[in-house]
Amino acid sequence: MTPPLIPTAHMPSELAPMPIDPAWIEEGTPMARGTVLMQSKDKLLSSGFWSCTAGKFQWVFSWDEFVHILEGEVTIHEEGGATHTLKAGDVAHFPRGLTTHWHVPKFVKKFFTLRTPEPFSL
């Protein structure tokens, strides 16, 4: 039997800890959790789920990231630019190299797809 060409996965009931760099935390104690569920064979595309509790932090994107907000909301300020509030159902693209400041008022959960310049090792 030929192995399937279309891998599938389900959102886990609990996400693993995925701590935010302590130097990037600006306010509160945001607790991030996440998992990468899928990767392309070359490991340049990855997707999964991520969540975070209340807090404020900086995030510098070392990859291109597309997100779909599943629960909660987040307000994101582009360093030197616009401010965006994303809520459940919203999608966004964060280009590689962008510096942002995140404010999670209560909780946010997203599905993400990353495009990395080098293979992303799990």
Domain extent listing, the chain: 24-115
The reported pLDDT for the residue numbered 3 is: 80
51 with 109: CB under 8 angstroms? Answer: yes
Looking at the domain 24-115, which fold is it?
A: Jelly Rolls (2.60.120)
pTM of structure:
0.93
pLDDT tens track for 94-103: 999 999 999 9
Instruction: Specify the amino acid at residue 26.
Output: E
110 with 90: CB under 8 angstroms? Answer: no
The average pLDDT across 32-59 equals: 97
The average pLDDT across 23-39 equals: 97
**Of 98, 49, 58, 51, nearest in space to 73 by CA:** 51
pLDDT tens track for 72-85: 999 999 999 999 99
